[in-house]
Amino acid sequence: MSQSIRPYPLRFKPEFKERVWGGRALEQFGYDVPEGHIGEGWMIADHPNGISHVLNGELAGQGLDAIREKLGAEWFGSKGSRSGNGRFPLLVKLLDCNDDLSVQVHPTDDYEGLPKGELGKTEMWYVLGAKPGAKIIYGLQPRVTRESFAAAIAENRIMDTLQEVPVEAGDTFYIPAGTVHALCAGVLVAEIQQNSDTTYRLYDYDRPGLDGKPRELHIEDSLNVTAYEGAGATRMKTDGAKPGEWLTLAKSPYFVTDKGVVRGEWTTGTTPNSFDILIAAEGAGSIRWESGVLDAKAGDCFLLPAPLGDYTLAGEMTVLRSRIV
C-alpha cells in the first residue's frame, strides 16, 4: 500500500452481527444482509471482533486495520490517529432493535476489570426510525444507590429502578460510560462509540440466547462501573437543525457528532486534526471533492481522511458528522 495515494472518501463493506434481539430492518438500506436475526451492522470497524473492508477506489479490499497501520498518522489527523489502544478510535454501527436489548452499562477507560487491550465505552445514539410507542431505558431513577440497586437486582425488580423514555426518529442520546441503558423493541439507531466491545449486562429478561442458553450477566462489574450520581448523559430533539449549519448532538472527550441538513449544495471540509465520518440518516445526494464524487443515500457511511480538505454535500439529505477534537 503506497503512502502516495490521494485521499478520498472511503466506503466499507459492513460486518453484520446476529443478535437474539435483531431482525431484518437493515435490508431497507440496500445491504446484502445475511440470514438470521441481524442486530448490528459494523459500518466502520477496526476491532478484533470485526474489521470493515473498503469497497471503493484504490484501497478497495483493504481492511481498516491495514489502512490504519500504513496511513493512520497521515490520513486520520493529528488527533484522529490516536486512541487508547492503537486502533482506529471510533466504531460506527447501525442497530436494528427488533426486540429489547439487555439492560447494560459500559466501563470507563480506567476500570481495572477491562479485558486486555480493550477501552471503555462512551457512545451516542441517533434514532433513525421508531415504531409508535417505542421507548428506551436511559439511566436510573433518582436516589438509586449501589446498595439499593444491588438489592433490586437480587430481588428481580431491577425494572423498578430504571427510567424509561419514549423515542421518535431524530432523537439523540449521549451515553457516557457508567450510564445504565437499553434500547428497546421497535427502534433503528445509528451508534457512534469508542472503539470497544465491552458491555456489562445487568438483566436480559430471562430469555435464551441464540444458542438456547441464558446469556452471561456481569452483576459485580456492572455495580462497580455504574455512575450512581449520573455520568453527564444528555438527550435532545434535533428537528431544529437548519440547512447548511451543523447542530452539535453530542460532545465527549472521544468524539463530537453534529447533524447537518443538506438542501442543494453545501461546502464544508475536514481539518488537519481529524477525519470526518459521515452517516446519511435520510434522503439522498452526493459527496463531491477535488477529484471525484460519490452518491450517498440513507444508511450509507463514509470515512473522509483528514487531508481531503474541502468537500461539497449536495442533494436533499440529513447527515451525521463525527470527528475527533
- Residue positions forming the annotated binding site for Zn(2+): 106, 123, 181
CB-count exposure of residue 229 (10 Å: 0-12, 13-18, 19+): exposed
Degrees (nearest 5) of the Cα angle 174, 179, 185? 75
Question: In b/e form, how buried is each residue of 4-42, taking b as 16+ CB within 10 angstroms?
Answer: ebebbbbbbbbbbbebbbbbebbeebebebeeebbbbbb
263 is a catalytic site residue? no
- Rounded CA separation 293/311 (Å): 9
Known binding residues are: 106, 123, 181
d(CA 224, CA 17): 28
Contact 75, 306 (CB under 8 A): yes
C-alpha grid cell, residue 317: 439529505
Q: Are 246 and 314 in contact (CB under 8 A)?
A: no
* Residue 93 CB coordination number (10 Å): 23
Of 11, 19, 68, 201, the catalytic one is 201
Annotated catalytic sites, by residue? 201
